[in-house]
Amino acid sequence: MCGRFILISSQKELTEEYGLIETPEVRPHYNIAPSQEIAAIRYTPGAPNNRELIFLRWGLIPFWSKDPSKSSGLINARSETIDSKSAFKSCLKKRRVLIPSNGFYEWSKSATGFKQAYLIHFRNHRFLSFAGIYDEHKSPAGDIVRTCAIITTESNKELKTIHDRMPVIIRKNDYTLWLEAENINRKEFRGMLRPYNIPGLEILQVGAKVNKPGYDKPDCMEPPGDICAKSENSCQTPLFPPR
């Protein structure tokens, strides 16, 4: 699954990466958690470059839900079954988004039950663009509530040492196809939902502060002090070593 991630790029970097003309202010976040408002890029005909940055509440609530106030929403959608689930299939056809990030957290569980957190990222904080879907629901007061889910797939060979699921990551060359494709059964479209190896992606063992969903400070990304004191190499290990 994907339950936490970071977004620390500047507004200028977001604009350049996603071909946006204008973007609202996006503050750096070091521990984004479900139920929070997150930035997303969607295809909007008529907008500059047909793209706009919007904010969505993380935790998808289908439009047909009778009482969204009683649901925290679905934070992930499995790529293997997304087009057969009633909560997701219409969103996959018509309401796809890119969710910008600079990395995501996962936890591995030891035989003793201890959970160790890891940050999967690029050292230079390049973008990792998650495949997402969103839906709109009208509240009893008439307000439009937009919610979203991150699409996940099975982990690739390297990430399986930590967790069996990972977010679907869209390559920059595929941004337009992901956002604008009308035929979602095309081979090229389906290929985007599979796991793939990303050269240069690394794993960083981090401390326990990230375990608190409400804690959102830069030290979430820092390794545990005792491990770094023992060995610098044990703090940061390349998942995909240079070839």
Active site residues: 2, 106
Where would I find the beta strands (DSSP E) of the chain?
5-7, 29-32, 37-43, 51-58, 76-78, 96-101, 103-109, 115-121, 128-138, 144-154, 165-167, 202-205, 236-238
Residue with tokens 């620390």: 8
Q: Find the angle CA(61)-CA(7)-CA(148) to the nearest 5 degrees.
A: 10
Q: What is the 3-state secondary structure (H, E, C) of 200-220?
A: CCEEEECCHHHHCCCCCCHHH
